[in-house]
Amino acid sequence: MDERAGRAVAKEKGLSVTGTAAIIGLAKKQGLIPSAKAAFERLHHSDFRISATVIKLILSSVNEL
């Protein structure tokens, strides 16, 4: 699913939205994944795109920058 389209539909339905980058950050903070940076690198090699600014923000918040 296109994340942008999914966000729009969720907002129309009154649902809260948490993006992929935030989920990666939360998973790192909760110890569910060993490295947020590695997760972003794997996504980078796929068709999935997240802005560099967002990635830096998340990596900073989990002390991986």
Segment 8-62, tens digit of pLDDT: 999 999 999 888 999 999 999 999 999 999 999 999 999 888 899 999 999 999 9
Give start and end residues of each alpha helix (H) in the chain. Answer: 3-12, 20-29, 36-44, 52-61
- Would you state the structure tokens that stand for residue 3, as one six-digit string? 């994340």
pLDDT band at 5 (very low <50, low <70, confident <90, very high): confident
What is the pTM (predicted TM-score) of this model?
A: 0.82
Half-sphere exposure of 27 (CA within 13 A, CB side): 16
**Dist CA 11 CA 15 (whole Å):** 5
In this predicted model, what pLDDT tens digit does every residue of 15-26 receive, in sequence order?
Answer: 998 889 999 999
Q: Is-contact 45 36, C-beta < 8 A?
A: no
